[in-house]
Structure 1
Amino acid sequence: MDSTNVRMPFLDPSQDHISPFYLHPSDNPGMKLVSEKFNGIGYGDWKRSMLISLSAKNKLGFVDGSIEKPTDSNFLRAWERCNSMIISWILGVLDHNLARSVLYFGTAREIWVNLEERYGASSGTVLYALEQAINELEQGVDGISTFYTKIKRLWDQLDDVDPLPICQCTNCNCNIVQKMLKSQQDKRLVQFLMKHNDGFEVV
């Protein structure tokens, strides 16, 4: 028998557990992927939390553009179902006014890009606010661990809006990125130590 004439049964992608088109029975439009709604403040933290949740559900491709709308009718329905579900998830973790502003976008990707354009771009105002917050932060009555957590959170937000440049040279061996990272870490260590209470000077 010629195996080339054997038609393999079509596997519905929405039933394939490893497919990005698969939706678990517990997935529903009212599910909250992150604990706090985004209201225009702290976009970096919100975005990071959303990416982690979407990655865990194997749905990252719907917002990063790597899973495009298929033309094959066998996959189109599964894609549309997942796209609608992810739109519901995103709308569910935006405050009312923000949700209304992106309600009529047709894809989760379009919503994601719009939010990134509005809140993800580095701006002088955001950089100034973060640098000012770091400058004004003092240990006060906080323990070392609590104080470090506070300043580390500000550093992470600063890295998100003003990341270190990445060398694009082919076969580069100048290690400029590593050197810049080491310089940044040394400066932040000094910054952290200088903000300790007087009682920690000897230590």
Structure 2
Amino acid sequence: MAGRKDDSLQSISVQLDGKNYSYWTYVMKNFLRRKSMWGYVTGVCVKPADIKAADYAKSLDTWEADNAKIITWINNSVTHSIGAQLAKYETAKQVWDHLSKLYTQSNFAKQYQLEADIRALRQRDMDIQDFYSAMSKLWDQLALTESSELQAFSAYVTHREEKRLVQFLMALRDDFEGLRGTILHHSPLPSVDLVVHELLAEEIRWSLHSL
């Protein structure tokens, strides 16, 4: 840890807003593991307490510097209103535990909310790429609620991909009705990525015809 460059102002690409806790924890956990600092959050790396140890002062400085760095990273990746709640905590573990207690829901509650958000999402005035990105974000968060055993079950993964395709096609604007009907009659059904590729090509054709 000694000699480590000062990257305390670095932050992850996801900002916790209270609604995306599952995805935020996934990204932040991997970020901290990459920095070899996940143990500070889990409580494995505890604050040095043996004042008689020969390297006590150095170990304490290292621990306090890393602890402060993690708290800074977390503050840089949450909204201001959430960050304001964290000032009363002194350790990264306390901060993490507070956020977990505040935003962790049961898997069923999270699944219910995400399923509802997916059903409510419509393309409307979004282009295909933006719409696909919005839908993918919800799918990814929903996947985080699945057990590793379920994700390893090939029949379930196939069913999930077919379900995603139906959700995506149902939410498209009526402009794509012709292409949607053609896709639904494919056997076997194409992947969502392949469908997005076709829709992007169709979008380009429309833009060229409108010139």
TM score, norm. by length of structure 1:
0.67
Cα distance 1:34–1:80, how it changes in 2: closer, same or farther (>3 A)?
same
Alignment of 1:124-163 (within 5 A): 126-160=110-144, 162-163=145-146
Cα distance 1:139–1:98, how it changes in 2: closer, same or farther (>3 A)?
closer
Query: Partners in 1 of 2:133 and 2:77 — Cα distance?
Result: 25
Query: Partners in 1 of 2:81 and 2:123 — Cα distance?
Result: 36
Q: Residue 42 of structure 2 contacts residue 93 of structure 2 at CA under 8 Å; is this kept in 1?
A: yes
Cα distance 1:97–1:135, how it changes in 2: closer, same or farther (>3 A)?
closer
Q: Residue 118 of structure 2 contacts residue 167 of structure 2 at CA under 8 Å; is this kept in 1?
A: no
1:202, CA displacement in angstroms? 1.8
Percent of residue pairs bearing the same amino acid type: 29
Q: Residue 65 of structure 1 contacts residue 109 of structure 1 at CA under 8 Å; is this kept in 2?
A: yes
Q: Residue 91 of structure 1 contacts residue 103 of structure 1 at CA under 8 Å; is this kept in 2?
A: no
Cα distance 1:135–1:97, how it changes in 2: closer, same or farther (>3 A)?
closer
Of the candidates 72, 94, 97, which is equivalent to residue 110 of structure 1? 94
Query: Partners in 2 of 1:120 and 1:104 — Cα distance?
Result: 20
CA distances 1:127-148 after superposition (whole Å, capped 9, x unpaired)? 4432222112233354444332
1:35, CA displacement in angstroms? 5.3
Of the candidates 23, 26, 36, which is equivalent to residue 58 of structure 1? 36
Of the candidates 82, 92, 97, which is equivalent to residue 98 of structure 1? 82
CA distances 1:64-101 after superposition (whole Å, capped 9, x unpaired)? 33433345525233112211222233234333442332
Q: Residue 14 of structure 2 contacts residue 27 of structure 2 at CA under 8 Å; is this kept in 1?
A: no
1:150, CA displacement in angstroms? 1.9
| Matched residue type, 2:122 | E
Aligned counterpart, 1:14 = 2
Query: Partners in 2 of 1:95 and 1:142 — Cα distance?
Result: 26
1:32, CA displacement in angstroms? 4.5
1:154, CA displacement in angstroms? 0.9
Query: Partners in 2 of 1:142 and 1:101 — Cα distance?
Result: 35
Does structure 1 residue 186 correspond to structure 2 residue 162?
Answer: yes
Secondary structure of 1:14's counterpart equals coil
Cα distance 1:58–1:151, how it changes in 2: closer, same or farther (>3 A)?
same
Of the candidates 172, 178, 198, which is equivalent to residue 199 of structure 1? 178
Of the candidates 23, 26, 43, which is equivalent to residue 48 of structure 1? 26
TM score, norm. by length of structure 2:
0.65
CA distances 1:123-176 after superposition (whole Å, capped 9, x unpaired)? 66544432222112233354444332221111112223x323637xxxxxxx97
Cα distance 1:181–1:64, how it changes in 2: closer, same or farther (>3 A)?
farther
1:116, CA displacement in angstroms? 1.4
Secondary structure of 1:34's counterpart equals coil
1:37, CA displacement in angstroms? 4.7
Q: Residue 139 of structure 1 contacts residue 147 of structure 1 at CA under 8 Å; is this kept in 2?
A: yes
RMSD between aligned alpha carbons?
3.1
Structure 1: where are the runs of 5+ without partners? 1-12, 16-22, 168-174
